[in-house]
Structure 1
Amino acid sequence: MATMEEQNRYFVPAPSRWPMVGALALFCIGLGAALAVNGMLFGKLSLALGAAILVYMLIGWFGDVVRESRGGSYLGWEDMSFRWGMGWFIFSEVMFFGAFFGALFWVRTVSVPELGSMDYKMLYPDFEASWPLATGPGITEAYRAMEAWGLPAINTMILLTSGATVTWAHWGLLADKRDQFKLGLLVTVLLGCTFLSLQAYEYGHAFSHLHLTLASGAYGMTFFMLTGFHGLHVLLGSIILFVVWLRSLSGHFDVKHHFAFEAASWYWHFVDVVWLLLFVFVYWL
């Protein structure tokens, strides 16, 4: 039991090398990206090196945090800081997706009707003020929109189910049912991987059968930007939950101390909500 003095103090970690390692990783990634787009071989090597250093930094830095947590360094104030930090991080993600949804709504409700009310035949022939646009400058092959009631609907059910399984895992942890906790986590990770596999298949179908790409006008751009970034977040969330599951196998987390799992579940529920909005406004309407 921590004393009152310990509860009121704030843990300050020792100076760390990890920020410097992270800066080196980002430098290599930025340099590699700049060189790779110009077709230089060293660019790809620099990208790979930067990615490897970044993974090394993440494992090392989070490893230090886990050891500090397991050693009892984090008490009330630290826990509050972690919760505020995760809350603001999710808020920044809300703003991130809000910008893309804003672009989608602007194109559909403002730009397209405005163009349709004027004579823009001089820009390119056969313009129609409809969504999704199937014509445009530089579009040489007609494309089709993605249907909602197929793989997207199945993926929606998968993500909704994963939200239920991660909640079931949380209930198991709060009830000190370790097997339920670990099983719920594992099922959630598997459902996330299934979602990503089906989305990859959907993208292949879009490219080969619907001729839908990033170059397919405003519809193709908004479709792939929104669903692609969401898929990236599902991948990140699955990795986080997988790491939490590995930690659960080592006996980490108990009824009172499990914020790492809570943060991961908050993030996963955020991913679920974003997908529901995507399904309604990108696929369905």
Structure 2
Amino acid sequence: MNMADGTPKHPYHLVDPSPWPALGAIGAFMLALGGVLGMHPEMLGTGVASVIKAVQWWIIAPGLGLILAVMFWWWSDVIAESRKYHTAVVQLGLRYGMILFIASEVLFFAAFFWAFFDASLFPNSPEMPVRTEAVGGIWPPKGISVIAPFDLPFMNTLILLLSGTTVTWAHHAILEGNKRDAVRGLTLTVILGICFTGIQLYEYINAPFSFRENIYSSTFFMATGFHGFHVLVGTTFLLVCLFRAMAGQFKPTQHFGFEAAAWYWHFVDVVWLFLFFCIYWWGSGKAPIALH
């Protein structure tokens, strides 16, 4: 594989054996298993439904904790590798990988939007009499009070749009070798991400409907909750970038770690715009209520 002097014949970095892919898969399986059993405890029979409800968080919490631990240590390895081994070809491969990852996330959200539009556009479908009866043949479903789109959701929209400008400011600062402005831009972006999460949590606590109430509430919480999880991941991603920027690890010609975080954050922004206009505004009908 190597020449006589020890120089590689290829431009790739061959990583050392790593436990992180296997451990990450185990954590993802535990998280998915706990979530599915929590939402459908009857899958294993009515006799064990109460047991499932009691132990589901003992499955979800370790799974989530394992995923977070794997993310931390795996990213630490990638950061260490980037200082020595990330050639131009390796960086190009990482860019392709990030693009494919974001594309897969788009398909995740496409499933939630599909479920929402299928129910909202055809609430009186003769092919689905059970659903028609459940929603009363109208949308939003009968008896439900929805959240006013131009209250807290609009505030969160402005926050995310502003965060998109601050992360772009940080990017331009890195390209110019301006460490101080890069740190400022990243700090503001992280703060805005935390503010968004806090407002979203307040909205959930005071929502006039519950997850299991009907198809509107379930699609609402699944779509916005999945997006909220992405905001948490993106905020953590940017927080790591902030620490790296403070340590002077980003250079004008080598800062893909930040670029990946910025791409991910812009993706989160775009998804929220679709959520706001489709679910909060268009899907709210004529009976929204304000949260105070």
1:268 is aligned to 2:268 = no
* Equivalent pairs, count: 264
Q: Residue 114 of structure 1: which of 125, 134, 152 is its match? A: 125
2 CA distance for matches of 1:34 and 1:169? 39
1 CA distance for matches of 2:278 and 2:234? 23
2 CA distance for matches of 1:20 and 1:220? 35
- TM-score (normalizing by structure 2): 0.80
Aligned to 1:238: 235
1:196 is aligned to 2:187 = no
Aligned to 1:73: 85
Aligned to 1:82: 94
1:61-110 Cα distance to aligned partner (Å, 9 max, x none): 2211111111x211111001100000000000111111111111111223
2 CA distance for matches of 1:171 and 1:20? 37
2 CA distance for matches of 1:41 and 1:105? 34
| CA RMSD of superposed structures (Å) | 2.9
2 CA distance for matches of 1:31 and 1:226? 19
**1:247, CA displacement in angstroms?**
1.2
- TM-score (normalizing by structure 1): 0.82
Closer/same/farther in 2, CA of residues 274 and 34 from structure 1, 3 Å limit:
closer
1:110-136 Cα distance to aligned partner (Å, 9 max, x none): 3x1424x99x69x859x74321012xx
2 CA distance for matches of 1:34 and 1:225? 13
1:154-233 correspondence runs (5 A): 154-206=155-207, 210=208, 212-233=209-230
Q: Percent identity?
A: 40
1:218-237 Cα distance to aligned partner (Å, 9 max, x none): 21122111111111111111
Closer/same/farther in 2, CA of residues 153 and 40 from structure 1, 3 Å limit:
closer
1:92 is aligned to 2:104 = yes
**3-state SS of 1:14 partner:** coil
Kept in 2, the 8 Å contact 1:35–1:42? The answer is no
- Counterpart amino acid of 1:18? W
2 CA distance for matches of 1:194 and 1:27? 30
**1:17, CA displacement in angstroms?**
2.9
Query: Larger deviation: 20-29 or 233-242?
Result: 20-29
1:23-62 correspondence runs (5 A): 23=25, 25-26=27-28, 38-39=51-52, 44-45=57-58, 47-62=60-75
**3-state SS of 1:114 partner:** coil
Q: Residue 248 of structure 1: which of 245, 248, 252 is its match? A: 245
Aligned to 2:286: none
Closer/same/farther in 2, CA of residues 22 and 156 from structure 1, 3 Å limit:
closer
Q: Residue 14 of structure 1: which of 7, 13, 16 is its match? A: 16
Query: Larger deviation: 94-103 or 11-20?
Result: 11-20
1:136-187 Cα distance to aligned partner (Å, 9 max, x none): xxxxxx3301111100111110000000110111111111111110110110
Question: Runs of 5+ in structure 1 lacking a partner?
Answer: 135-141
The higher relative CO (CA closer than 8 Å, separation ≥ 6) is in 2
Query: Larger deviation: 171-180 or 38-47?
Result: 38-47
Kept in 2, the 8 Å contact 1:8–1:77? The answer is no
Kept in 2, the 8 Å contact 1:7–1:75? The answer is no
Closer/same/farther in 2, CA of residues 172 and 12 from structure 1, 3 Å limit:
same
Aligned to 2:117: 105
**1:20, CA displacement in angstroms?**
3.9
Kept in 1, the 8 Å contact 2:11–2:90? The answer is no
**1:60, CA displacement in angstroms?**
2.1
2 CA distance for matches of 1:24 and 1:11? 26
**1:42, CA displacement in angstroms?**
6.8
